[in-house]
Structure formats: structure tokens, C-alpha cells
Amino acid sequence: MAKEPLKVLTESMFYVLLSLLRQERCGTEIVEYVDDATAGRVPLGPGTLYTILAKFQEEGLIRETAVEGRKRTYAITDRGRALFRQELSRLRLCVGDGEREERAAERALPGTERRELP
Amino acid sequence: MKDHRRFLAPMDLWDVGTVEAWLEERAVRGWILMKWGTFPLFERMKPCACRVRLDPQGQRTQTEQEEADELYAGMGWRRACPLGDYLVYYCFDPTAPDLYTDPATQAWAWEKLLRRTIRRTLLCLPLLALWLFLQFDDLWSGGGRPVERFLMGMWAVWLFALWWVGQALWDIVRHVRGVTRLKRRLAAGVPPARGDTGKAVRRTLRHEIVTWGMIVLLAAFLAFVVVGRQEMDLADAPEPLPYVALEVLAPETATLDMDIHRCESVNSLLTDHREIDQFRWDGQASLWAGLDRVALEPLAEILYQERVDTFLDSWPDAEVRQVADSRFDEAVVIGAGENQCFAGRLGRTVLAERVRTDRDLTDHLDGFAAVLAEFQ
């Protein structure tokens, strides 16, 4: 059975790709970057990071660029960039939908409150 | 104070949440895992609360594993030892992120292992069936006198084989069900469930007691049969002897010197079996007699039938005469030239005798009836 390619990224996957957009990084640098970028909001466990890196390599989203001892450095590929952009657009749509709905809810809210008053 | 100690561990390795919780409990009591097994080896450490996670081993090379270990160690997770298809990691830093912070990636990490576990477990089924088939080979091959073998002690071995296979099948069912549930949980982004560790250990204890109890029972039974088996020269055998003697059935050959004349007795709980063999290598004289006092009458009936069938298998063209005599529940005289056979049953006792003679054994029904009556 053919494997389903990645279509939607989880937060951890998204930030791993994000961390490689501007420069190549090794595992610990990716963790540090994600921790700084999200102010600790998105924790990246070692099992999660290792699995993501292995899966991304398998899917051709990243590639290994250097090996120094036990340190491996990774770079994003064109395919990875494309998936990142696709995910970014999806998130923008989500955010856009969310904001539009929230504005509509805020406009509707005062009326709703008045109706609920005795 | 001992620095190393063994504890009885949960046995269901697919129940990873419970195994993790159990290892965390050991750590709180000051023990860290050194080597896994039914009684895993632990090393003493300072009692402390920590997190323990089982990580699927995957198919990493040694270098890849070392790199992963370094990465894990840098993030607060220390590898203890392998545990089946997993690696055990301890984390003593409460601020360190969990081993898996993203359920989707955890599902990826586990996917291959769970698939492999199910495949491997299901592969056990045909192997179990083959093993069971070979255990009961005597029943299928036809030439092995299965009833006699069953009564003489194989009943215990076959019972053990059935019990063992039943237990293995039950374990396979639980294993596949557990792994499937774990797969579903991980796919849904839910971490492995943590069960009652005390209950899991008690289950292992029960399993060990039953398994070893059955093995000890089987070994004790086999020892009882082997030690209780007696073989002696016919002249030394205690009276009364369970047969009609050669001197009576074939006096013309009884005067010859026999190469073999022995008496054997075996008690296998289901039957008290006695056997007499007398023969010359040159074939001029031979007698074989077997008497069984069987525990249950239905078993005696099928043993009798097997004795008759065995005679008929050896001499298919023999003349068979059913004996209608109130002193026997069933009896038959089979004549095949120089080989004459008698088989009779009275209650739970079965007597079979084959002798090389051309005399008619129906003349000796009194003797056979007396033996059966005496050994009731």
C-alpha cells in the first residue's frame, strides 16, 4: 500500500521546517530555535524531534548537509519549502476565517446581551 | 544493603503505559532498571521521582542510535537498557520536555513496531499449530497405538501441550488486541493508558505460578512413571503373573531355552500396565502378553479395540472368532496360522496375549477368564 504523503503539519513539524528556512541547523540548534521563537510555548521532545527529522528526510522535505562526529546538520529542500508555504497558506486561511467569525460574533454580541437582560 | 535487586515485572509489554508507571514506582523507591526480564535487575539509586518512557527501537544503526542517545541525553533523557522491542529512557529533570511532545510523531515512531508486532504475533499461529500437530503425531500416523501411548503417560504430555497452546493463543489474542488499541490511541493523539501496576504484577505472578506449577507437575509425573517402571527376569517376577503361561498355551515350545524372558510393569495413573515377553531369536517360540487395569471403563473399551485392531493390522487375513462368554464383557480369538491371539476385557481390565502356536486358544478361555478375574 502506497504511503500517504504529508499534507497537514502539526505545530512541532511546522516549527522544525520553519527553523530551517533561513539556515541549516543541527538537532540541538533546532530545539533551541523553536524554544526561542515560541518562548517555550512549543516544547520539542527528543523523541518527537528525532522522529520528525527521520520522517522529513524520508519524505524529502529536508536533507542532511554535514556530519561532524555525532552532529548532523539539516537543510530544507524545495519540496520542504513548498509544503511549508502550503501549510502557511492553510494557517492564514484558518486565521482569516477565525478573525472574520470573531468580528461577526462581536458585532452580534451586544444585541444578544440586550435580549438576555430582564 | 544490597546494591542490586530483582523484582517481578508486568509481563504485557504492549501495555507500555503500565510498564512505564511501574518503572517510575521503582525509581521512587530507589531502584533504576539495569536489565529487563521476567525478574528484571535493578540497581540502587537515590529515591527520586522521575519520568520513564519506552521508545520503540526502530531499525537504527549503532551510529544512529548513539546520535539519538546524545540528542536525548542533551535534552535530559538517559537511556537505561533495552526492554523487548523498546529502549527505556529515564528523565530526572522535571523541566525537560517529554520524550514525545507531539502525539502524531509518537504515532509515527510506533507505527512500524506495532505493525511488526502484529505480524510477528500472527506468524506464531501456524508455528503453534505445527507444534501441536507434531505433539499429536501418534494420533495421525496411525501405526503408533495412540490409546496405549495415551494411557501409558502421553496423556499428561498431551494435556500439557493443549494447555500450553491454549494459553499461548490467549496471550496472542490479548497481545493483538492490546497493540491494536495502542495503535488507535496513538493515532487519535492519546498517550498510552496507564493501568494498575499492582494488578499487572499480580497477573505475572499468577502466570509464573501456573506455568511453573504445570511444568513441575509434568516433570514429577514423568519421574513417577520412569522411577516406578520395573523390568525384571520373568523368573523373578512376583506372583500372580498376569497371563496364561507358554507351558499351557504351547507346551511343545515351552521346553526350549528362551533368549528373552522378561516382565515389565508401568503405572501411569491412568493404567497399571504389565507386560510379559518370551521369545527366541530364531522365531521357534514367542509369547507376548499385556494386561492393563485402566482407570475408567470407557478407556478400557477403546484400549481393547486397539489391541484387536493391532492384531488384525499384523494379520489382516486372520480368522476372527468373537467369544460369547459371560466371564468376559468382550473377547475375541484371532488365528493366523502359527500366530494365535486372544484379547478380552472384563470391566476396566484388558488382557491381550499373542503366542506362536497352531493350537486353538478357545481351549484356554478358562485360563484367560481366571487372569482377568484375578486382576480386577
| pLDDT, tens digit (0-9, with 9 covering 90-100), for B154-181 | 889 889 989 998 998 898 888 888 888 8
> Hey, is the C-beta of B93 within 8 angstroms of any chain A C-beta?
no
Burial track B125-148 (b if 16+ CB lie within 10 A, e otherwise):
eeeeeeebeebeebeeeeeebbbb
Cβ pair B105, A51 in contact under 8 A: yes
Assigned C-alpha cell, B321: 472368532
Burial track B256-290 (b if 16+ CB lie within 10 A, e otherwise):
eebeebbbebbbbebbbbbbbbbbbeeeebbbbbb
Q: How many CA atoms lie within 13 A of A67 on its CB side?
A: 7
Residue B66 with chain A: CB contacts under 8 Å: 70
The answer to whether residue A97 sits within a structural domain is: yes
Number of domains comprising chain A: 1
Q: Are strands B319-322 and B31-35 parallel, antiparallel or unpaired?
A: unpaired
Rounded to whole angstroms, the Cα distance separating B227 from B221 reads 10
Backbone angles phi, psi at A76, to 5 degrees: -80, 145
Q: Name the amino acid, one letter, at A83.
A: L
pLDDT at B104: 85
CATH, domain range B230-374: 3.40.1000
Which residue ranges make up each domain of chain B? Answer: 4-91, 103-228, 230-374
| Stretch among B141-150, B280-289, B302-311 having the lowest mean pLDDT | B141-150
Answer whether A43 sits within 8 Å of B98, measured CB to CB.
yes
> Hey, is the C-beta of A13 within 8 angstroms of any chain B C-beta?
yes
Say what the ipTM of the complex is.
0.83
Considering chain B, what is the average pLDDT of its residues?
Answer: 89
**The pLDDT of residue A4 is above 80:** no
What CATH number does the domain containing A33 carry? 1.10.10.10
Answer whether A47 sits within 8 Å of B71, measured CB to CB.
no
Q: Please report where in the chains the cell 490511541 appears, as a residue.
A: B185
Residue B345's beta-bridge partner residues?
B330, B350
> Hey, is the C-beta of A36 within 8 angstroms of any chain B C-beta?
no
> What is the tens place of the pLDDT at every residue in A59-81?
999 999 988 877 889 999 999 99
pLDDT bracket for residue A1 (50, 70, 90): very low
Count, residues in chain A: 118
The answer to whether residue A84 sits within a structural domain is: yes
Return the residue in A41, A48, A74 with the most chain B beta carbons within 10 A, the one to mutate for interface testing: A48
Backbone angles phi, psi at B300, to 5 degrees: -65, -40
pLDDT bracket for residue B46 (50, 70, 90): very high
Answer whether B75 sits within 8 Å of A43, measured CB to CB.
no
The answer to whether residue A71 sits within a structural domain is: yes
The answer to whether residue A117 sits within a structural domain is: no
Q: Please report where in the chains the cell 523507591 appears, as a residue.
A: B29
Cβ pair A57, A42 in contact under 8 A: no
The answer to whether residue A44 sits within a structural domain is: yes
- Beta-carbon contacts of B299 under 8 Å, excluding residues fewer than 6 positions away, are B147, B151, B270, B271, B348
Q: At what angle do helices A46-59 and A11-19 cross, to 10 degrees?
A: 70
- Beta-carbon contacts of A60 under 8 Å, excluding residues fewer than 6 positions away, are A77, A79, A80
Return the residue in B102, B108, B112, B115 with the most chain A beta carbons within 10 A, the one to mutate for interface testing: B102
**The pLDDT of residue B289 is above 70:** yes
Rg of the Cα atoms in chain A? 20
**Who has greater pLDDT, A20 or B187?**
A20
Nearest CA distance, B101 vs chain A (angstrom): 5
Mean pLDDT computed over B266-282: 91
Assigned C-alpha cell, B346: 472384563
| Closest CB to B101 among A27, A44, A70 | A44
Backbone angles phi, psi at A116, to 5 degrees: -80, -15
Mean pLDDT computed over B321-342: 92
Mean pLDDT computed over B111-130: 84
**Between the ranges A84-98, B35-49, B126-140, where is the mean pLDDT highest?**
A84-98
* Chains A, B: CB pairs < 8 Å: 68
Provide, rounded to the nearest whole percent, the portion of chain B with pLDDT above 70. Answer: 98
Cβ pair B221, B266 in contact under 8 A: no
Rounded to whole angstroms, the Cα distance separating B342 from B363 reads 11
The answer to whether residue A29 sits within a structural domain is: yes
Residue-number span of the structural domain to which A98 is assigned? 11-107
